[in-house]
Every structure is written in structure tokens, then in C-alpha cells.
């Protein structure tokens, strides 16, 4: 089988995908003639087919890149072949994206294809003036950039940024599918983005593995398959969770599962269950047998990979058909509502109940991305601690408790009542900001995750880069040396307040879902960096002396208080066209002043706490140094003090002469 894997496995994927797409379109009516403004059979069938090619080629672009970053050794034949596959697939992605955008243009404008100026102007207007057109143009440009970079770049570090660029293209793809009703738009886009990205890494990684298998021999094949299996398990969890959320948004009740959309969804779920069983079989039996150089296990693995790709093709074809099938739960736009309120126009959702003690305890707005992030942070930390304990190593209990407390608070801030009210009340937004930047890092940093990774994750010896290697590379990089300078970290931490709230970044973070995620990541990262350089125990390129740390803390505390007092005393709203238009019946300016008080008061408590911790660490450091000096004196008879006294005596004798 390995000789034919390069042909059989991709062929099984493509055949199953096309067959499932055609069957799904026929069953769900996704390519049926429209009673009004029908674009024609070529467009009706060509659009879902081109969308399927977009999905498959995008997966075959990101999968090999991720495999090269985390499973393959740079410079080897399999590494270079994987990047060649990614480059070729990205080129197909570019052409397919252009075709899909053109098909959608024909669907909307219903224009016959001509080569005159008017047709070109309409197409240019669609690509540059409409959100859908700009989205497809962005996807095409990203795909073209990935094509060039995969041909030109072979450095693993740079390749990691190419992977990030590729994933950014999936954000645009996610915004083009069924995105739920107005109130569910953000949740639908997040779920679809996670679903598409994880499925692409899963599918693309396995296909790349089949295509490079001829260069993998002996233990190398076992190691790469094992690493891919770990990635696939994470992708399976993300695909299952995001798929459930997407189904809940688009289907709603169980009765709707009997609709064409619901039946196709059940087919996709069945394919996912089978894929999960394949993954369990692979991890539980085949990899362990491959570790014992069982040639039969290797042969079975390739048959299993071909079957798994066939079911992935079924899931991909059905997914493309679902994108063209009407959802049983109708999508209601703001324009279709009667007299929408300002809050509904701005946020896409009605005002929540006035915050009280009861609503604060009962209000939740789950965010799938941060739920998964919190779950993975807790799980992998506990898995690392468990691995240490199994081999007899100790890990301080307080580190685990503090880490889990920080993760729990992160989950609460991003999913609880603050996520319900922060779009409507500036004070709640500021409370979430302070917790993200000031409180959560104070809990997470003492957990020493970098130290845990260094001790719990096995070191690779084949030149590839796993979590441990990427962490070490980051910690010892020249950029981290600059960022971990306490003055730089403090400038980023404190300067972000002014740069965020007094620039258009504030409006972007409040009104755009991507901007909102950027805000959370930035404040969490800047706060973590600041706390790490002051009280962290993880290894860093540079450690400032304790007096310098205390001075930086005092300066930051003063800067923070000045910012909070500035907001409290302000007579104008920072974001008047947003928070001033919500219609709570209370003064938006008074709420902004409350936000300033939160900045000044709550923001100072963690700072004082860190100052106390730094003072304690300083004291312990002095005591430790004193004990070290005493032990040295006991060993050499206080030779250092004797030499010093002899020097003083000699100096006095010379002065007397």
C-alpha cells in the first residue's frame, strides 16, 4: 500500500468529496433553479464546486505547513516536499477563490459575461465596494501570498508566520457562510472559523502525510505519525465542539433535523463519528505496533489513512452542499426588524436586562474560542503535572492552584456576565480590561508554565520542533530579550492604555468581533509580560535587580492612577457614538466616570500585591545569598574575609610608611 498511497489516498478524498457534494446538492436543493433571478445552471453548480475546491486546496495549503512546523525536520526531503505541496495547493486555492468570487458576482448582479468596460467596472465595484467582494478579494490575495512564500521560504520560524497568514484567510472564508441570525452572528462566525480551520489542519495534514510517506522510513515514520495524531486529536475536539455550536445556531430544535439541512448535517455528524473511531484506532493500536517495527501495522495504517480521507471527503462534500442549502432556522437581519433600537443596530442584539445581583449571577454569553482556550490551558497543564508525578518528580501544589484559578477567571471574564454587558456599559468593559491585564496574569505567571514545559515535554533529537523547542526558541530569541526588559514591558503595558482608548483601536475593538478578540489577546499578553518580568519564576533572557523592579512598579502605579483619574474627570465621552447611544436611561458620562474609578482602584490592588511579592522575593534572595556566603565561609575558613582584612592591614602598613 505505501507505494500507492500517494495516489489512492488523495483520489479517495477527491472522489468522495465530489460524489457527496453532488448528492447533497441534489437532496438539499442547493443547485435547484431559482423561481426569480436564476443565474443559470453553470453558476448554480459551478459555485458549490468551486467552493469545494477552495476548501480542499486551502486545507492542503495549511496542513503541510503545520506538519512542517511541528512534525518534520527542516531541510529533509519530506520537509521540502510538504512545502511544495503547500505551494501548489495555495496556487489552486488562489484560482479557486477568484472563480468563486466571480461566480458570486454573477449570482448577485445577473450579468451576462462580456468583455466591455461596463462589465469590468461592475466587477471592480463588487470586489472593492461590497463586503462580500472585498472578502473574496482578500482570500485570493492571501492565497497568492502563501503560494509565493511557500516556494521562497524554507525557514521554520518564518514558516510559522506563513501558517498564521494562512489561518487569517480562514477568517474571511468563515464570514461568507451561513452565519446565523443577527443576534448569533458573532458566535456563528467564530464557530465556523474554528470548524473550518481545525478541519483543514486535520484533513490537510493527513493528505500531506500520505503524499510524503515514501521519504519516511523506520522510526521517522512512527514519530511523524505520532505527532500528527496528537494534532488530529486536538482538531477533532475543536471540530466537534464548533460543529455542535454551529448546528445549534442554524438548526435550533430537534424537529428541524428532519429538514434537508438537518439530514445533511446528520450525515456529516456520522462521518465525524467514524473519523473519531479511526483516530482512536490509530492512537490506541497502530502507533504502538509501529513503535515495535511491525511492518503489518504500517500497511494497515496506510489503508486506514485512505479510508479516513474518504470519510473526510464525504464530510467536505456535505459541508459544501450545506453552505448552499437553506437553514431551517431563518436568519433575521436588522433591516427586516420593525423599529430596531439603537442597541440592536449597533450590536446586532437587544439590550440585556438591567444589571442587578440576580442578573449578574445568571447571565452568561458563552464564547466558544475562549472556552476551548481555557479548557486546553487547564488540560495540558494538568497533563504536564501528571506526567511529572508519574515519573516521581515533584511540582509545587500552589503553582497548580494559582494556574487553574487564573484559567477559571479567564473563562469567567470571557464567558460570564462581563461578556454580556461590556458592549453596552463602559464600566463593565473597563472591569473586564482590568481583570484581563492586571489580575489574571498575577495568577497565571506564578504557575510557571514555561518551566513545566521544559520539565514535562520530551526533548526531540531529530531536529524537528515541538512545543518544547518552539518555547525555548521564543524564550531565547532576541525579540524576547528586548520585550522582557522591564522598562520595555512597562512601556507596553502602560502605553497600551493611551494607545487603545484614545485612538480608533477602541472603536474597532468594540464594534468588530475580530477587534474584540485582538483586544483580549493584547491586554492578556501585555499584562502577562509585565507581571512575568517582575515576579515570574520562569527562565528569561534578562532579570532586573529588585530595586529596579520596585521603581518600575511605583512608576506604573502612578501612571495607572493618572489614567484612571483622567477618565473620571473627563467631561466628554470617549466613544459617544457607541456607549452614548445604547439607551439605558442612565448617564453614559456617569458610567464612564465609574469606569475611571474601576481603573484607578481595582487596577492598583494587583500592583500593590506585586510590590509586596517583589519585596518578599528580594528579602528571600538576600537571605539565600547570606546562607550561601555562610556555607562558603564554613568550607574555606572564611578565606574571603581573611583576605579582605589582610588587604586592609597591608594598606595601613603602606600608609604608615
* pLDDT, tens digit, 9 for 90 and up, residues 82-91: 999 999 999 9
- Residue 69 belongs to some domain of the structure: yes
Mean pLDDT (whole number) for 519-533: 93
Instruction: Tell whether 379 and 235 lie within a shared domain.
Output: no
Read off the pLDDT band of 529 (50, 70, 90): very high
Residue at a domain's end among 328, 359, 389: 328
90 closest CA partner among 167, 193, 184, 4: 167
pLDDT, residue 343, reads 77
More confident residue, 231 or 2: 231
Is the pLDDT confidence value at 457 over 80?
yes
Q: Which three cell numbers stand for residue 87?
A: 505551494
Is the pLDDT confidence value at 48 over 50?
yes
pLDDT above 70 coverage of the chain, percent? 87
Number of domains in the chain: 3
Distance CA 621, CA 598 (A): 34
pLDDT above 90 coverage of the chain, percent? 40
Read off the pLDDT band of 526 (50, 70, 90): very high
pLDDT, residue 633, reads 47
pLDDT, residue 336, reads 53
Residue 60 vs residues 16, 86, 146, 315, 317: alpha-carbon distances, Å: 16, 6, 12, 15, 15
- Are the beta carbons of 17 and 52 closer than 8 angstroms? yes
Q: Render pLDDT for 397-454 as a digit per residue (tens, 0 to 9).
A: 999 999 999 999 999 999 999 998 888 889 899 999 999 998 999 999 999 999 999 9
Read off the pLDDT band of 356 (50, 70, 90): confident
- Residue 448 belongs to some domain of the structure: yes
pLDDT, residue 646, reads 57
Q: Render pLDDT for 302-319 as a digit per residue (tens, 0 to 9).
A: 778 888 899 999 999 999
Q: Render pLDDT for 323-339 as a digit per residue (tens, 0 to 9).
A: 888 888 766 555 455 67
Most confident of 144-153, 182-191, 648-657: 144-153
pLDDT, residue 631, reads 52
Distance CA 530, CA 541 (A): 14
pLDDT, residue 337, reads 59
Mean pLDDT (whole number) for 168-173: 86
pLDDT, residue 196, reads 92
Mean pLDDT (whole number) for 105-118: 85
Mean pLDDT (whole number) for 532-561: 85
63 closest CA partner among 121, 9, 116: 9
Instruction: Tell whether 622 and 635 lie within a shared domain.
Output: no
Instruction: Tell whether 308 and 389 lie within a shared domain.
Output: no
- Residue 348 belongs to some domain of the structure: no
Mean pLDDT (whole number) for 225-230: 88
Is the pLDDT confidence value at 498 over 60?
yes
Average pLDDT, the chain: 85
Instruction: Tell whether 611 and 636 lie within a shared domain.
Output: no
Instruction: Tell whether 449 and 302 lie within a shared domain.
Output: no
- Residue 534 belongs to some domain of the structure: yes
Distance CA 50, CA 59 (A): 14
Q: Render pLDDT for 174-195 as a digit per residue (tens, 0 to 9).
A: 776 555 445 567 788 888 899 9
Q: Render pLDDT for 600-619 as a digit per residue (tens, 0 to 9).
A: 877 677 878 888 888 888 77
pLDDT, residue 254, reads 81
pLDDT, residue 235, reads 93
pLDDT, residue 97, reads 94
Residue 487 vs residues 529, 551, 554, 617: alpha-carbon distances, Å: 11, 10, 12, 19
Instruction: Tell whether 600 and 643 lie within a shared domain.
Output: no
Read off the pLDDT band of 549 (50, 70, 90): confident
Residue at a domain's end among 278, 313, 328: 328
Distance CA 335, CA 399 (A): 52
For 597, residues 6+ apart whose C-beta sits below 8 A from its C-beta are 564, 568
More confident residue, 608 or 523: 523
- Residue 351 belongs to some domain of the structure: no
Distance CA 598, CA 602 (A): 5
Mean pLDDT (whole number) for 201-215: 88
22 closest CA partner among 335, 357, 320: 320
Mean pLDDT (whole number) for 203-227: 84
Mean pLDDT (whole number) for 153-158: 90
Instruction: Tell whether 563 and 467 lie within a shared domain.
Output: yes
Is the pLDDT confidence value at 629 over 60?
no
For 437, which DSSP code?
A: I
Instruction: Tell whether 307 and 372 lie within a shared domain.
Output: no
Instruction: Tell whether 83 and 60 lie within a shared domain.
Output: yes
Mean pLDDT (whole number) for 627-636: 51
Is the pLDDT confidence value at 226 over 60?
yes
612 closest CA partner among 549, 560, 527, 523: 549
- Residue 173 belongs to some domain of the structure: yes
Read off the pLDDT band of 293 (50, 70, 90): low
- Residue 273 belongs to some domain of the structure: yes
Residue at a domain's end among 328, 351, 384: 328
For 463, which DSSP code?
A: S
Instruction: Tell whether 412 and 431 lie within a shared domain.
Output: yes
- Residue 108 belongs to some domain of the structure: yes
Instruction: Tell whether 635 and 604 lie within a shared domain.
Output: no
pLDDT, residue 334, reads 54
Instruction: Tell whether 378 and 295 lie within a shared domain.
Output: no
Q: Which domain holds residue 195?
A: 5-32+41-328
pLDDT, residue 656, reads 58
Amino acid at each position: 500500500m505505501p507505494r500507492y498511497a500517494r495516489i489512492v489516498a488523495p483520489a479517495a478524498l477527491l472522489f468522495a468529496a465530489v460524489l457527496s457534494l453532488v448528492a447533497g446538492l441534489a437532496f438539499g436543493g442547493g443547485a435547484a433553479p431559482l423561481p426569480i433571478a436564476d443565474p443559470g445552471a453553470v453558476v448554480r453548480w459551478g459555485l458549490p464546486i468551486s467552493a469545494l475546491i477552495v476548501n480542499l486546496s486551502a486545507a492542503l495549503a495549511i496542513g503541510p505547513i503545520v506538519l512542517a512546523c511541528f512534525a518534520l525536520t527542516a531541510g529533509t526531503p519530506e520537509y521540502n516536499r510538504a512545502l511544495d505541496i503547500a505551494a501548489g495547493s495555495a496556487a489552486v486555492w488562489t484560482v479557486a477563490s477568484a472563480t468563486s468570487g466571480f461566480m458570486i458576482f454573477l449570482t448577485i448582479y445577473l450579468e451576462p459575461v462580456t468583455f466591455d468596460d461596463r462589465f469590468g467596472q461592475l466587477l471592480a465595484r463588487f470586489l472593492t465596494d461590497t463586503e462580500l467582494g472585498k472578502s473574496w478579494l482578500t482570500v485570493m490575495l492571501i492565497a497568492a501570498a502563501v503560494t509565493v512564500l511557500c516556494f521562497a521560504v524554507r525557514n521554520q520560524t518564518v514558516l510559522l508566520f506563513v501558517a498564521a497568514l494562512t489561518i487569517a484567510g480562514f477568517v474571511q472564508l468563515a464570514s461568507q457562510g451561513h452565519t446565523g441570525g443577527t443576534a448569533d452572528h458573532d458566535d456563528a462566525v467564530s464557530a465556523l472559523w474554528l470548524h473550518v480551520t481545525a478541519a483543514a489542519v486535520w484533513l490537510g495534514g493527513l493528505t500531506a502525510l500520505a503524499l510524503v510517506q515514501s521519504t519516511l522510513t523506520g522510526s521517522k515514520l512512527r514519530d511523524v505519525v505520532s505527532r500528527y495524531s496528537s494534532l488530529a486529536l486536538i482538531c477533532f475536539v475543536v471540530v466537534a465542539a464548533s460543529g455542535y455550536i454551529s448546528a445549534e445556531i442554524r438548526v435550533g430544535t430537534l424537529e428541524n433535523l428532519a429538514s434537508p439541512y438537518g439530514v445533511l448535517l446528520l450525515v456529516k455528524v456520522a462521518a465525524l463519528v467514524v473519523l473519531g473511531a479511526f483516530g482512536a484506532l490509530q492512537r490506541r493500536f497502530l502507533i504502538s505496533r509501529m513503535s515495535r517495527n511491525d511492518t503489518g501495522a504500517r500497511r494497515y495504517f496506510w489503508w486506514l489513512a485512505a479510508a479516513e480521507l474518504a470519510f473526510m471527503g464525504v464530510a467536505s462534500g456535505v459541508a459544501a452542499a450545506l453552505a448552499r442549502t437553506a437553514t431551517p432556522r431563518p436568519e433575521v437581519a436588522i433591516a427586516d426588524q420593525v423599529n430596531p433600537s439603537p442597541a440592536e443596530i449597533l450590536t446586532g442584539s437587544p439590550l440585556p436586562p438591567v444589571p442587578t445581583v440576580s442578573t449578574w449571577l445568571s447571565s452568561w454569553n458563552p464564547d466558544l474560542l475562549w472556552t476551548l482556550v481555557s479548557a486546553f490551558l487547564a488540560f495540558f497543564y494538568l497533563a504536564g503535572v501528571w506526567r511529572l508525578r508519574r515519573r516521581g518528580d515533584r511540582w509545587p501544589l500552589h503553582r497548580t492552584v494559582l494556574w487553574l484559578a487564573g484559567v477559571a477567571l479567564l473563562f469567567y471574564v470571557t464567558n460570564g456576565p462581563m461578556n454580556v454587558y461590556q458592549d453596552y456599559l463602559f464600566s463593565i468593559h473597563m472591569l473586564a480590561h482590568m481583570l484581563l491585564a492586571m489580575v489574571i496574569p498575577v495568577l497565571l505567571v506564578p504557575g510557571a508554565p514555561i518551566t513545566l514545559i521544559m520539565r514535562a515535554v520530551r526533548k526531540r533529537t531529530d531536529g524537528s520542533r515541538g512545543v518544547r523547542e518552539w518555547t525555548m526558541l521564543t524564550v531565547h530569541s532576541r525579540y524576547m530579550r528586548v520585550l522582557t526588559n522591564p522598562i520595555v514591558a512597562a512601556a507596553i503595558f502602560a502605553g497600551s492604555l493611551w494607545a487603545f482608548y484614545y485612538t480608533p483601536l477602541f472603536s474597532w475593538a468594540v464594534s468588530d468581533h475580530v477587534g474584540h478578540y485582538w483586544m483580549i489577546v493584547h491586554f492578556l499578553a501585555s499584562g502577562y509580560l509585565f507581571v512575568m518580568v517582575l515576579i515570574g519564576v520562569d527562565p528569561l533572557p534578562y532579570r532586573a535587580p529588585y530595586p529596579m523592579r520596585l521603581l518600575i512598579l511605583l512608576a506604573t502605579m502612578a501612571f495607572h492612577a493618572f489614567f484612571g483619574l483622567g477618565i473620571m474627570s473627563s467631561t466628554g465621552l470617549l466613544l459617544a457614538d457607541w456607549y452614548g447611544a445604547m439607551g439605558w436611561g442612565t448617564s453614559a458620562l456617569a458610567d464612564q466616570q465609574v469606569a475611571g474609578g474601576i481603573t484607578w482602584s481595582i487596577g492598583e490592588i494587583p500592583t500593590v500585591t506585586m510590590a509586596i511579592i517583589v519585596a518578599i522575593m528580594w528579602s528571600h534572595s538576600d537571605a539565600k545569598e547570606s546562607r550561601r556566603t555562610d556555607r562558603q565561609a564554613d568550607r574555606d575558613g572564611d578565606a574571603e574575609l581573611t583576605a579582605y582584612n589582610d588587604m586592609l592591614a597591608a594598606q595601613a602598613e603602606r600608609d604608615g610608611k
